[in-house]
Amino acid sequence: MRTKEFKPVPIGYKEHEKRQFELDLSTFTSYLNDFFSEIAKYIEVKDKNAFKGKFLNMFLDLFSEKYKSQFPQFMSLEKVLELCEVNTDKIKTLAFKISEFKIEIDLNTNEAKIPDFTIYTESIEENLLYKYASEIEKAIYDNKPTEITFFQSDLQRGFSGLLLYDFSTQRLKPNIGYIKGNYRRV
């Protein structure tokens, strides 16, 4: 007996998560640009990717390497930073804020790896449920007589939440929450 092979079907898109990612990426690149422009006043940065995961420590290492011969050996690094008028508070704050983000990015080009925000089915049953919901939605709008008024809320209740009214398209569409098993009637 031959079984059907499961193939995920795209059924939706995570718009909110995409907008949040774009906002986070914009903020992240802003912090990165501020950090690298601030440290460029004191050291030369050839490969920004070397800073990944250790922004503050890498800056301190490169800074001490550059300036250790210009100051007495007994002088602490903090004192050298102070004498060179390095804004350590700003650099520490930016390094801390950068470390809070979990976005994969090439620091040299500021190009990020963009995740897939598409919602896919996870089983054959979800594929069938989505297919049936799409066919019902298509049948409602393709075969609708012009003199009959449909009340979308009644249709939505009649299909027990399988279909959901989309205000942007002003049509019923398959309810992703119902298909994924997250929908509960109250």
- Among residues 36, 83, 92, which one has the least CA distance to residue 64? 83
Decide which of 74, 92, 112 is a domain's last residue: 112
- Report the predicted TM-score, pTM, of the whole model to 2 decimal places: 0.75
Residue 3 lies in a domain: no
**pLDDT tens readout for residues 69-127:** 888 888 888 888 888 888 999 999 999 999 999 999 999 888 999 999 999 999 999 99
Domain that holds residue 142: 121-179
Q: Please, which pLDDT band fits residue 168 given cuts at 50, 70 and 90?
A: confident
Tokens standing for 29?
């690149």
Give yes or no: residues 38 and 99 share one domain.
yes
Domain count, the chain: 2
Q: Please, which pLDDT band fits residue 1 given cuts at 50, 70 and 90?
A: very low
For the chain, state the CA radius of gyration.
Answer: 28
Give yes or no: residues 102 and 19 share one domain.
yes
Place of tokens 């050996």: 73
**pLDDT tens readout for residues 118-156:** 999 999 999 999 999 999 888 887 876 667 777 777 887
Give yes or no: residues 105 and 138 share one domain.
no
Give yes or no: residues 33 and 93 share one domain.
yes
Residue 52 CA to residue 116 CA, distance in Å, equals 23
Q: Which residue has better confidence, 133 or 182?
A: 133
Give yes or no: residues 108 and 125 share one domain.
no
DSSP states of 73-90: TTS-HHHHHHHTT--HHH
Region 57-68 average pLDDT? 89
Give yes or no: residues 87 and 162 share one domain.
no
Q: What are phi and psi of 165, to 5 degrees?
A: -80, 125
